Structure 1
């Protein structure tokens, strides 16, 4: 549906008298409505909407619509019915379409304006001079909308290919640097390798440096395969992950480095625009977010290093926690729970000191983009909840057979991974964000303002556990399903090692 809407110039929506009731019934039953999908896509893609009410259908009120469809109300409807005004109303619809077509036409340029640039691009592309090719493409793009849509799509594909080639050329010497470190300085090679994978995940690991730097014994490999196999039943995956916790979970980002510092596996979220909440487009610079929430063993490193005794980590905070909270599920690879926002800020200060670069809680726009990508999907995997993709209560609302009634080890729902590779963004635990709940731009940590949590938890039903849902609490709240993951604006350069 989204692809079809993206390919159109405007969307004509025909609304019958029973549509509001049908929409409400399908929402109550957890079913998708095709018209809602199309309207949501049109709103998010900024496609003009031409509403037509037929058979005496009434134009919906704001209260009748879900939040993601309310922006359509800014478009005036036509009311088409039998009788004297039928022709006038149909003509009004055609006039609206003509206006949109005229607007589209005024934004186009003639092909002759960029013919020379295109030929220059083709020459650079054939010569594999990717930087020059990219320059030509950006100059073509600056000319404006192309008249022929297939040609425009071809340019978009070229842009992706050229940028991919450039990134591979950047990545190759850095990977070779890590290979040299693996032979001469294995301790630092692992850190450099982790940073490389965060920055260039598409390059992969062609020489299996991970196996060389962190070999996994066969008895642990057996449990690792079971714990991360999406086709294995969830309770079997949990049992396998519990075995990993006992033996030493080898997954990057779950445990500790040899020096006792939490081993954070970063995923990179590229710069650019994304759909925030239901219909707001927002730009963000590139940033990094942890692949998993902070685990029990990782937070215990902070506790055992005097995190609650050293006033330095709590300086300027309205409240200083004096001791860690107790956790019922105290397994090494479970997320750390019963954490306040203050716990999270103090932990990030301590971890920044240990790592040598700034680590913090994510702000809400960062968390949401990392969870859903750029296309406005409601869940990390798409627009509709799919049973078995997250640790939530599926039973009460009838969307699936699973209700574990407890948190589970991190990273054992591979079908629910986000577009950038972050796990457990939906379900398992609510995650604290840095900013004030009233304003995304306010990140002052010296106030007692309420803060937002995102993602839902094992206690949540599907309508309360998705990428747009927020929960607002006082920053000293330590509920049994509250935790956090960390973020970072800039990582060290691989060649620093």
Structure 2
């Protein structure tokens, strides 16, 4: 090979790497191995849960944007864990929610059913969204919707999310699983117990919520990271955790692109959903034991 050809090849490699970096895509993701990038959460203490001051703030901002007090009357935030100081050992957690592209590697490798649901099954779930609303999120012929490869995968049940984590464990020889509520909350919130990853005042410019639109999922990593470098922990999509709220139900956290206010987007907010549920507002991220 001539020196000039070698230099040209090196330049091409560097150019591709730069383009991937600008797009927020790691070389591992570009290679299509389905393994998410992780952030290491250090061993130490953090404040988990909420107190009456935080809950009242959440109710007030909900009432301001929605013009009603349904969340207060239903006591949504009164069910949050009372604020307490918790020590956790170090662990790794996915930097972003699992994307359609990452989930597609799992589907192709295992034959696991792709994120899809019939109109009959969708309507049986009893959600407020019409079937027409979910069509942009449906996979076709085992492939993600066009242009949504780096959007969070949705329409996945808790069992689907666990199957992906099990596949990762078998593929890598490491232990991957859905995060417990405590581990999820520390990773998103940081050690200091602030209402949001960025502080105590809601800022619609720091997350994907219905306050600013686009009223849809977005490519992951568009907003600034939280205290530990984790992305998309507030808004974007709710995320499954391993924590049970009652038999057959699991805690989801984080809020979504369809929420305003956004009291429910606080890391302390929590509610249970049926394990079988497939929703356009729910995705997941995984953690790895050290």
Q: TM-score, normalised by structure 1?
A: 0.42
1:223-242 alignment to 2 at 5 Å? 225=22
Question: Is the aligned partner of 1:413 residue 2:223?
Answer: yes
Structure 2 residue corresponding to 1:339, chosen from 120, 143, 156: 156
**How far has the Cα of 1:346 moved from its partner?**
0.6
Residues 307 and 280 of structure 1: is their aligned pair in 2 closer, same or farther, counting only changes over 3 Å? farther
**How far has the Cα of 1:218 moved from its partner?**
8.3
Residues 307 and 347 of structure 1: is their aligned pair in 2 closer, same or farther, counting only changes over 3 Å? farther
Structure 1 residue corresponding to 2:234, chosen from 426, 448, 467: 426
Preserved CA contact (<8 Å) 1:256 1:263: no
Distance 2:216 2:171 in 1: 32
Structure 2 residue corresponding to 1:295, chosen from 85, 99, 122: 99
Residues 418 and 218 of structure 1: is their aligned pair in 2 closer, same or farther, counting only changes over 3 Å? closer
Distance 2:45 2:218 in 1: 33
| Large movers: runs of 4+ above 4 Å | none
**How far has the Cα of 1:217 moved from its partner?**
3.0
Task: Specify the alignment match of 1:377 in structure 2.
Answer: 194
- Structure number with higher strand proportion: 2
Post-superposition Cα deviations, 1:45-75, rounded to whole Å, max 9, x if no partner, equal xxxxxxxxxxxxxxxxxxxxxxxxxxxxxxx
Distance 1:411 1:353 in 2: 27
Task: Specify the alignment match of 1:264 in structure 2.
Answer: 36
**How far has the Cα of 1:219 moved from its partner?**
8.2
1:14-413 alignment to 2 at 5 Å? 215-217=14-16, 220=19, 225=22, 250-251=25-26, 255-257=29-31, 260-278=32-50, 279-308=83-112, 324-325=115-116, 328-329=136-137, 330=145, 331-394=148-211, 402-413=212-223
Q: Which sections of structure 2, spanning at least 5 residues, go unmatched?
A: 1-9, 51-82, 118-134, 138-144
**How far has the Cα of 1:266 moved from its partner?**
1.1
**How far has the Cα of 1:215 moved from its partner?**
3.2
Residues 358 and 216 of structure 1: is their aligned pair in 2 closer, same or farther, counting only changes over 3 Å? farther
Secondary structure in structure 1 of the residue aligned to 2:85: strand
Task: Specify the alignment match of 2:284 in structure 1.
Answer: 484
Q: Which sections of structure 1, spanning at least 5 residues, go unmatched?
A: 1-210, 226-243, 309-321, 395-401, 439-447, 491-497
Secondary structure in structure 2 of the residue aligned to 1:305: helix
Distance 1:403 1:324 in 2: 24
Residues 218 and 267 of structure 1: is their aligned pair in 2 closer, same or farther, counting only changes over 3 Å? closer
1:436-451 alignment to 2 at 5 Å? 436-438=244-246, 449-451=248-250
Post-superposition Cα deviations, 1:140-172, rounded to whole Å, max 9, x if no partner, equal xxxxxxxxxxxxxxxxxxxxxxxxxxxxxxxxx
Residues 219 and 486 of structure 1: is their aligned pair in 2 closer, same or farther, counting only changes over 3 Å? closer
**How far has the Cα of 1:264 moved from its partner?**
1.8
Cα RMSD between the aligned structures?
A: 2.3
**How far has the Cα of 1:284 moved from its partner?**
0.9
Residues 219 and 359 of structure 1: is their aligned pair in 2 closer, same or farther, counting only changes over 3 Å? closer
Post-superposition Cα deviations, 1:245-264, rounded to whole Å, max 9, x if no partner, equal xxxx63357x353xx42132
Residues 433 and 218 of structure 1: is their aligned pair in 2 closer, same or farther, counting only changes over 3 Å? closer
Task: Mark the structure with the bigger radius of gyration.
Answer: 1
Distance 2:267 2:171 in 1: 31
Distance 1:342 1:435 in 2: 13
Residues 405 and 286 of structure 1: is their aligned pair in 2 closer, same or farther, counting only changes over 3 Å? same
Secondary structure in structure 1 of the residue aligned to 2:96: coil
**How far has the Cα of 1:463 moved from its partner?**
1.4
Preserved CA contact (<8 Å) 1:261 1:354: no
Preserved CA contact (<8 Å) 1:303 1:324: no
Distance 1:345 1:456 in 2: 20
Preserved CA contact (<8 Å) 2:41 2:187: yes
Answer 1 or 2: higher relative contact order, Cα 8 Å, separation at least 6.
2
**How far has the Cα of 1:323 moved from its partner?**
5.1
Post-superposition Cα deviations, 1:208-267, rounded to whole Å, max 9, x if no partner, equal xxx99x73438836xx64xxxxxxxxxxxxxxxxxx5xxxx63357x353xx42132111
